[in-house]
Chains A and B, each alone.
Chain A
Amino acid sequence: MRLEPFATLNDMRKQYGIRKTILIKVDESVERFTAGLRINDVRGVLRGDPPAKPNPRVKPHTEGAWFHIWPTFYHEAVTKFYPTFKLGMITTIFFIIEIITGLFLMLYYTPAPGISYDNMLRILSTVPLGQFVRDIHRLAAEGMVIAVWLHMGRTFLTGSYKKPRQFTWATGVILLLLTIALSYTGYLLPWDQLAYWAVTIGASMADAFPPPEVGKAIGLLLKGAPDLGAGGLLRFYLLHVFALPLIAIIFVFVHYYKVIRHGHSLPPGLENIGEDNARKVPPDRRVPFLPDILTNELLWFGLIMAAMIVPIALNLYHAPLEHAANSQSTPLHTVAPWYFLFVQGWLKLGDKTFWGVIFPTILIGLLLFWPYIDYNPSRRYGDRKIALMAMMVTIGLLVVSSYMGTPGFSVVTAPQLEVGFHALPPEQPGPIRSIAFDQLLVGTWSTQDPSAVPGNALELQAVMREIKSEIDSLPKTILVNNQPVNYFNMYAELTIEVAQGTPDNPTLKHIVLAVHWDGEPIDLVRNQPGYFTDTFVHKDSKYTASGE
């Protein structure tokens, strides 16, 4: 038998003519590229036509590499907002945004002390859309942490971790940890005060790992030296841009694969207890991935991008950048990133080995193996009173411990320092610097009589009132070495003078904040009684409350 050779282009041209040959070849290329859809099939998807029989739209799922981690169809019941709240998809969207914006930020970034911070200034000032890309990267990172927590909460709420999805849940817990690790390693990279000290605190938790020799070794592996420096920055950078994303991508695929193997879990009320019908979708309740689910996911992608772009474009949000990292000065009220606030709260309770390492490890272990511990087969809310109550208690505890992690809880320092920190924060613009330049009236203004500030400087007047209410809210007596120390009759004075330019046309103003109280000591620098802190504001400073 003689095999027919493949038709050459020339054979085809003879048989069909040039135009039709090109069309056939383009059609074949589209079919290869889409793993099974010809041009007419793609048009059918775009026009919303019902699929041909046999349905060509399942082919990308069976033949293609990308679509095979999505199911060919979803149960109608899981395509609504409830029960999934779309949270898993939203997390993935944030992750994709992070990868893309991260790649672009890497173009202008070198991980080295002394260079990194200059890179940040360059990204913010001279790189076209640099600040925008950084803002998106930052917002999507925060969004991803929030979405992944909510996704876990939702999965717990609907009991979707139960048999046969125990392992899917466990991979999800690992993805939660990876998300937090990604966010945390990225926190250090700007190399500003915020980054340096928040990460120092977090890395010191690793030092607490028992036994001490192991803890010390982990700290050294992470920081590359006893203190954070060039070695630590490089290590965090490599974890952030290479190691952790690689592991996360692997686990995303495992997680997604498990989701199609078992199907999306149905709303708890829809099936009998102990049953799992997610894979047996009646034909009339199937929603095909192509095009319905895909277009819906693209819509969500657009919504999420819009939700981030609008506040950035309106100047309502910008990623913070403080002064360059200074390993010799820790700013007052330094805290770890907000998603570690609850650990910070626990750390104030005492031993860092227990509260910083052992207790969180127990909780993570409990989370990881929870589906194997919870033997209740029912997914219905009414049958899971204890589990749902445990969830509410856990959420409550996390909120309370997060509050305990804020500076307001049990970090007591002298009231005059708090007033100075509030009015002239070392790392943020704060209220005084945010006053419009022409409203910074030359003279001395006191919180004892804010209304003495003329009516043409309402911003200054408002700030004086704000400082007054801050003073009123502070304790009048604090315990120092178990002895009460009084801070009675405290008030603040703001002295504004022209530092450069003429009185009629000042260009730079010097602002001194003095805090006075009964029994105040002599300030060693100024040789006057009271507490003093000062700043300079230029007429082009353009400080805003949102922090730039």
Chain B
Amino acid sequence: MADQATPARGITRREFLNYVALASMALFTAEVGGAILAFSLPRFREGEFGGTKSIGTIGDRLPPADSAPVAYADIKTWIVNIGPEAASKGGGKQGLVALYKVCVHLGCLYAWVDSNQRFECPCHGSKYQLDGTYLEGPAPRDLDRFAVIIKDDQGTTIAQTVTISGDPNYGAPIQIPDNASNYTIVVDTGNKIDLGKRHYYTGGA
């Protein structure tokens, strides 16, 4: 029995086959783990809560420039008409934007506070300008926006939000065309625009 006490040199056939068996079990476990993950990940269409949604004509639905935003609960959207004042305080561009109602910090719904003329988040105090640019608080970036499409009464697209990331006008407000009161505003909640950073407020003109 002396050879039993001697440590084995190299790998025996049995040892090798056992390693192979263990490795195949590990591989199987990993596969099962992957399958469980795939099983548990929910399937949904991005923007399921509305897809594209027509909210009415510019004449009926567009708030006056620089006035309080209008909420659309079913598509979790604020419709804002950025006028010269809000533009000069915020991102500098005038026009129509659709802001996603969820705070980019931790998912609470921020609200418009009229007396302070800004959006305020009730949970952690992030504040945003009327056009969604970041003011203060812990939020990491400006508010997210949805792409907006303006259609005329024939259904032809007149204007739409630039959704190509990297374009200098990415997510910029849509200029309201003249004599557009019969045109329809369509919000595409499947097309969320993440401006990616804070455009710091500089103190106004």
Contact = CB atoms under 8 A, between A and B. Distances in A.
B115 A521 contact: yes
B122 A330 contact: yes
Interface in A219-248: 220-221, 224-227, 231
B50 interface: no
Contacts of A217: 41
A266 B188 CA distance: 67
Interface in B107-122: 107-111, 113-118, 120-122
A344 B106 CA distance: 10
A351 B42 contact: no
Nearest to A208: B106
Interface string B24-39: 0000000000000100
A414 B108 contact: no
Given A352-B138, A481-B135, A417 B113 contact: yes
A243 to B, nearest CB: 12
A327 to B, nearest CB: 8
A324 interface: no
Interface in B96-131: 105-111, 113-118, 120-125, 129
Contact of B107 (A200, A220, A520): A200
A352 B140 contact: yes
Contact of B109 (A205, A329, A413): A329
A522 B203 CA distance: 26
Contact of B122 (A226, A227, A332, A348): A332
A347 B138 contact: yes
B41 A481 contact: no
Given A330-B122, A333-B122, A349-B138, A220 B41 contact: yes
Nearest to B44: A225
A226 B49 CA distance: 10
Contacts of A414: 113, 115-116
A335 B123 contact: yes
A93 B76 CA distance: 45
Contact of B123 (A334, A482, A485, A521): A334
B108 A197 contact: yes
Interface string A460-503: 00000000000000000010111001000000000000000000
Contacts of A349: 138
Interface string A350-382: 111000000000000000000000000000000
Contacts of B40: 221
B41 to A, nearest CB: 6
Contact of A531 (B108, B115, B203): B115
B114 A485 contact: no
Nearest to A413: B120
B117 A348 contact: no
Given A204-B106, A481-B89, A348 B125 contact: yes
Contacts, number: 99
Report whether over half of chain B's contact residues are helix, strand or loop; otherwise say mixed.
loop
A121 interface: no
B11 interface: no
A481 B106 contact: no
Contacts of B110: 330
B102 to A, nearest CB: 8
A330 B106 CA distance: 12
B170 interface: no
A169 B111 CA distance: 46
Nearest to A346: B138
Contacts of B135: 481
B113 A197 contact: no
B124 A348 contact: yes
Contacts of A416: 115
Contact of B117 (A330, A334, A478, A480): A480
A330 B121 CA distance: 9
B115 A348 contact: no
A391 interface: no
Contacts of B41: 217, 220-221
A203 B123 contact: no
A481 B118 contact: yes
A478 B118 CA distance: 13
Nearest to A355: B138
Contacts of B68: 524
A197 B37 CA distance: 26
B44 A226 contact: yes
9 contacts: A201-B123, A221-B40, A330-B108, A330-B111, A330-B122, A333-B123, A334-B122, A352-B105, A481-B201
A-B pairs with lowest CB-CB distance, top 5: A411-B125, A204-B107, A204-B106, A332-B122, A330-B109
Interface of B: 37, 40-42, 44, 49, 68, 73, 76, 89, 105-111, 113-118, 120-125, 129, 135, 137-138, 140, 201, 203-204
